[in-house]
Amino acid sequence: MRPPLVLTVAGSDAAGAAGVQADLKTFTALGVYGASAITLVTSVAGHGPRGTHPLPPDVVRTQIDEVVRDLHVDVLKIGALGTAAIVQTVADAVRTHRDRFGPIVLDPVMIASDGAPLISAEGADALRSELVPLATVLTPNLAEAAQLLGRPQATTIEEMREQALALQALGPQAVVMSGGLLPAEDDAVDVVVHPGGTDLLRAEREAGRHVAGAGATYSAAIAAQLARIADFDRAGELEEIGEEGEDDDLATIIATAREFVASATAHAADWEITRSAQVRRPLNHLITLDKS
């Protein structure tokens, strides 16, 4: 028996809300084995600005090489990368090992939800030129899409769609642009462009939402679902899960991942986990595991 497996290349969040920790919890919750190559470590000093400590690029490369050498990787997920040198290293590793894994989900992480920068300006440029073209699914929020394109932040759904299409033109099959904070809309609307067209995913916007790790959890859930599809495919069971063609698959996977994020957010609402209201709440990744 070979479980579906995702390798995440991302940063560590000691609080366990975002980054690698959110990724691994999401994979487990969705029945997927998680491996990780750490790119950087974030640390919080009190409630002050967070420090970002990138690892040496060769240490990042060694971790990826080891995992790819030793394990069957179905899907690669990429999160915070910190520096242009790490972006370059990860892009080189992806090109070297391209036949060793399937889809690549790239979350172009730029700034943490608490405002800490998670990549340098040169790193963001390298992300656009080196990694975006290699991605299967790209998952920017409004600010990340704007920075990748060098445009002002989208303020309407039509502008979001234009930016998502412009990013898709750089290479990814699908772009999932999350618009939780779009001023012109009452709902939280995500624009998904995929080979079958454009979908709008609407959900009620929660006022005063104060969570950390929603973006990481979203892209991790997409990666996990893609790994499960690869697993069903290996077992010859794809028809049984109602496959309607590859184009629809991606759109369905993304919608399912969003439901997971919404549910994990809702189920954390009564968690008394933070010592202060100032600290952003993590999501509840235990939802699929809690049988009580």
Ligand X SMILES: Nc1ncnc2c1ncn2[C@@H]1O[C@H](COP(=O)(O)OP(=O)(O)OP(=O)(O)O)[C@@H](O)[C@H]1O
Ligand Y SMILES: Cc1ncc(CO)c(N)n1
Q: Which spans of this chain sit near ligand X (rule: CB under 6 A)?
A: 18, 112-113, 141, 178, 180, 188, 190, 203, 205-206, 209, 212-216, 218, 258, 261
CB closer to ligand X out of 63 and 139: 139
Q: Is 42 in the site for ligand Y (CB under 6 A)?
A: yes
Beta bridge partners of 117: 111
Judged by CB under 6 A, the chain residues 100 through 129 that form the site for ligand Y are 109, 112-113, 118
The nearer residue to ligand X, 113 or 288, going by C-beta atoms, is 113
In the complex with ligand Y, which residue's Cβ is closer, 42 or 89?
42
Is 137 a binder of ligand Y (CB under 6 A)? no
Does residue 37 interact with ligand Y by CB under 6 A? no
Report the residue from 140, 172, 215, 282 that binds ligand Y according to the rule CB under 6 A. 215
Contact 143, 180 (CB under 8 A): no
> What's the CA gap between 265 and 159, in Å, rounded?
27
3-state secondary structure of 269: coil
CB of 241 to ligand X, least distance (A): 23
Residues with Cβ < 8 Å from 163, sequence gap 6 or more? 145, 146, 149, 151, 154, 177
* Cβ neighbour number for residue 133 with a 10 Å cutoff: 12
Q: According to CB under 6 A, which one of 19, 54, 103, 282 is a site residue for ligand Y?
A: 19
Q: Rounded to the nearest whole angstrom, what is the least distance from the CB of residue 218 to ligand Y in the complex?
A: 11
Beta bridge partners of 189: 179, 202
Q: Can you say how many angstroms the Cα of residue 49 is from the centroid of all Cα atoms in its chain? A: 23
**26 sits in which H/E element:** helix 19-29
> What's the number of CA atoms in the CB half-sphere (13 Å) around residue 98?
8
| Pick 107 or 249: Cβ nearer ligand Y | 107
- Rg of the chain over all Cα atoms, to the nearest angstrom: 18
What number of CA atoms fall less than 13 Å from residue 177's CA on the CB side?
34
CB of 96 to ligand X, least distance (A): 29
CB of 118 to ligand X, least distance (A): 9
**Could you say which of ligand Y, ligand X, none residue 206 binds, taking C-beta under 5 to 8 angstroms by partner kind?**
ligand X
Q: Which residues bind ligand Y (CB under 6 A)?
A: 10-13, 18-19, 42, 79-80, 109, 112-113, 118, 215-216
